[in-house]
Structure 1
Amino acid sequence: MNRIAQAWRRVPTVSAKFLLILIPSLVLAVSVFSSVFFYNRHQDLRLALRDKVSTIADINAAALSASLWSFDVNAIRNVVQAIAANRELVCVEVTDDLADGLFVWPGVDCPTDSPNTERRAIKVQNLQVGTITLHFSYDAVREQLRQEIVNTVFLLLMMLAGTVAAALAALRLTIGKPLRRLIASILHSEQGFGHRPVDWSAADELGRVIHAYNGMLARLGEEEAALRKSEQRLSLAITATRSSVWDYDPTTGQYWWSKEFPALLGYGPTELAMTTKTWVSLLHPDEADDIVAESRRRRRDKALAYSAVYRMRRRDGQWAWIEDRATALRDSQGNALRITGTMSDVTERVQAELDLARERNILQITLDNTDQGIIKVDRDLRVVMSNRRAAEFLNIPPEFLAACPVFPDIVSLQRSRGEFNEMGDDPDLYLAYGGDDLEDGLSGGGGGGSVWEQPLTFKRRRPDGRIIEVRTNPLPEGGFVRTFTDVTVEARSAEEIFNAMQALGAAYADLKETQASLVQAEKMASLALLVAGVAHEINTPIGIAFGCSTHLSSRTQALNDAFEGGTMKKSDLAAYVATAGESSRLIQQNLTRAAELIQSFKRVAVDQTSEERRAFDLLAYLEEIVTSLGPTLRKGPHRVAIACSPGVVIDSFPGALSQVVTNLVMNALTHAFPDGTKGHMVIDVDDLEDGDLQIRFADDGVGIPEEHRNKVFEPFFTTKRGAGGSGLGLHIVFNLVTQTLGGRISVDSAPGDGTTFTLRIPKSIPAVAAVAGVDSPATSPATVGTASLETAAA
Structure 2
Amino acid sequence: MTRIAEAWRRVPAVSAKFLLILVPSLVVTVSLFSALFFYDRYQDLQAALRDKVATIADINAAALSNNLWTFDVQAIRNVIQAIGANRELVCVEVTDDLADGLFAWPGPSCPLSGDANIERRPIRVQNLQVGTITLHYNHKVAREQLRQEVVNTAVLLLLMLAGTIAAALAALRLTVGRPLRRLIASILESERGGGLQPVDWRASDELGRVIQAHNAMLARLGREEAALRMSEQRLALAITATRSSVWDYDLRTGLYWWSKEFPTLLGYGPNELAMTTETWASLLHPDEAEGVMADSRRRLRDRAMAYTAVYRMRRRDGRWAWIEDRATAQRDADGRARRLTGTMSDVTERVRAELDLAHERNILQVTLDNTDQGILKVDGDGRVVMANSRAAELLNIPPEVLAGSPRFADVVALQRRQGEFGEMGDDPDLYLSYGIGGTDGHAGAGPDEPAGTIDQPFTFKRRRPDGRIVEVRTNPLPEGGFVRTLTDVTVEARSAEEIFNAMQELERAYADLKETQANLVQAEKMASLALLVAGVAHEINTPIGIAFGCATHLSGRTGTLAEAFERGTMRKSELAAYVATASESSRLIEQNLTRAAELIQSFKRVAVDQTSEERRRFDLLAYLEEVVTSLGPTLRKSRHRVAIACSPGILMDSFPGALSQVVTNLVMNALTHAFPADSKGHMVIDVDEMPDDEVTIRFADDGVGIPAENLPKVFEPFFTTRRGSGGSGLGLHIVFNLVTQSLGGRISVDSVPGDGTTFTLRIPRTAATPQAATQPQSQPQPFPLPTPVPLETDPA
> Scaled by the length of structure 2, what TM-score is found?
0.35
State which structure, 1 or 2, has the greater radius of gyration over its C-alpha atoms: 1
Higher relative contact order (CA 8 A, sep 6+): 2
